[in-house]
Amino acid sequence: MLVVSTVSELQEKHRHLKKAGSRTGFVPTMGALHPGHISLVEESVKGCDYTIVSIFVNPTQFNNPDDFKHYPVTIESDLSMLRDAGVDLVFMPEVKEMYPEEDNRVFDFGGLDQVMEGKFRPGHFNGVGQIVSKLFDFVQPDVAYFGEKDFQQLAIIQYMTRALHYPIEIVPVPTMRERDGLAMSSRNMRLTAIEREQAILISRVLFEAKERRIRGEALVGIKAWAEGEFAAHPMFELEYFDIVDAFSLQALHTFDESDNPVACVAAHLGQVRLIDNIRL
Ligand code: PAF
């Protein structure tokens, strides 16, 4: 496994790896890897001839400087997991390599960035657009893999790929969960032992929301019930529990409005902000 830190090394090594007609798979990450990331890598290793992974904690997507400062960094274990998973090339640039000049580009995501995460984390998706477009330009993959846990990010990347005509297939990969249901996330590392125990509330509410939908309960009832579960918990501060259409991401008022409803949640547990979602 080769590890490089500059765009020119990345492009030179990629030229060597790539043979005519071969498929390059790409998994962008911010490091602090867990089995959820490795499931994206495994999809790429299975479906492509070469797999490139980037590790870069992108400053422009953090609207909260404290969140950026405390983002977990676990390079040694990241590299060992990637080696074991069969990755060919790891791109690990410094900030000045990715942003030699300030990036002032402003992206139009057709309104997909105006709801949920976009409302609570202003500028976040513009930063994601800046870094992912640069990574797509530098890596030039045939296929790129994104986790469904970041459901809104996935929808926005799919939109950007279409809008900017990137010849890249975007492959969504299902969320991996811990045994108790908690969605795997790098941010889970920052939970205290007691917070980690309580974090199960998020997936429990999502799974029960799905049960309630199957039993025929109305959308407004499910939303009010879910919000009540978070309000009743002394350690959680809910930002949103929205049921949205999977494609427009617009909030629904009844299940008649969409064939693809998804429940999405963001909540603070102590110092950690967690998100999760489930298709209803
Ligand atoms: O999902 C992430 O880890 C990041 O948002 C991404 C796609 C690597 C861009 O920094």
pLDDT range class, residue 141, cuts 50, 70, 90 = very high
201 pLDDT band, cuts 50/70/90, is very high
Locate the ligand 1 atom nearest the alpha carbon of residue 54 and give its number.
Answer: 8
What span, in angstroms and rounded, lies between the C-alpha atoms of 108 and 96?
Answer: 25
The strand pair at 261-269 and 236-245 is best described as antiparallel
Nearest ligand 1 atom to the CA of 135 is 9
Residue 237 DSSP symbol: E
Q: How far is the CA of 280 from the centre of ligand 1 (A)?
A: 25
Domain ranges in the chain are 2-173, 186-274
* Nearest CA, atom 8, ligand 1: 29
Report residue 20's pLDDT band, with 50, 70 and 90 as the boundaries: confident
The alpha carbon of 255 and the centre of ligand 1 are apart by a number of angstroms equal to 31
Please state the φ and ψ torsions of residue 161, each to the nearest 5 degrees.
-65, -40
**DSSP string of 134-192?**
HHHHHH--SEEEEETTSHHHHHHHHHHHHHTT---EEEEEPPPB-TTSPBP-GGGGGS-
pLDDT at 156 over 90: yes
Residues 127 and 118: their CA atoms lie apart, in Å, by 11
**In the structure encoding, which two tokens stand for residue 222, read together?**
């499910």
Interatomic CA distance for residues 232 and 220, integer angstroms: 18
Tell me, using a 6 A CB cutoff, whether residue 29 lines ligand 1: yes
Assess whether the C-beta atom of 242 lies below 6 angstroms from ligand 1. no
Q: Nearest 5°: phi and psi at 274?
A: -115, 145
Using pLDDT thresholds of 50, 70 and 90, give the confidence band for residue 17. Answer: confident
Q: How far is the CA of 61 from the centre of ligand 1 (A)?
A: 9
Q: Is 60 in the pocket of ligand 1 (CB under 6 A)?
A: no
pLDDT tens digits, one per residue of 78-131 = 999 999 999 999 999 999 999 999 999 999 999 999 999 999 999 999 999 999
Alpha-carbon distance 69 to 72, whole Å?
A: 9
Topology annotation, domain 2-173: Rossmann fold (3.40.50)
CATH homologous superfamily of domain 186-274?
Pantoate-beta-alanine ligase, C-terminal domain (3.30.1300.10)
The reply to whether 2-173 and 186-274 are identical in fold is no
| pLDDT on residue 16 | 85
Is 253 known to be catalytic?
no
Q: Read off the pLDDT of residues 230-259 as tens digits, 9 standing for 90 and up.
A: 999 999 999 999 999 999 999 999 999 999
In angstroms, the Cα distances linking 21 to 48, 50, 135, 171, 274 are 11, 12, 21, 19, 41
Q: What is the mean pLDDT of the chain?
A: 97
Cβ of residue 58 lying under 6 Å from some atom of ligand 1: yes
Q: Using CA positions, which residue lies closest to atom 9 of ligand 1?
A: 128
Q: Which residue has the tokens 């997909």?
A: 112
Amino acid 134: pLDDT: 98
- Residue 199, CA distances (Å) to 4, 52, 138, 274 in order: 37, 32, 38, 9
Asked whether the predicted pLDDT for residue 15 surpasses 90, the reply is no
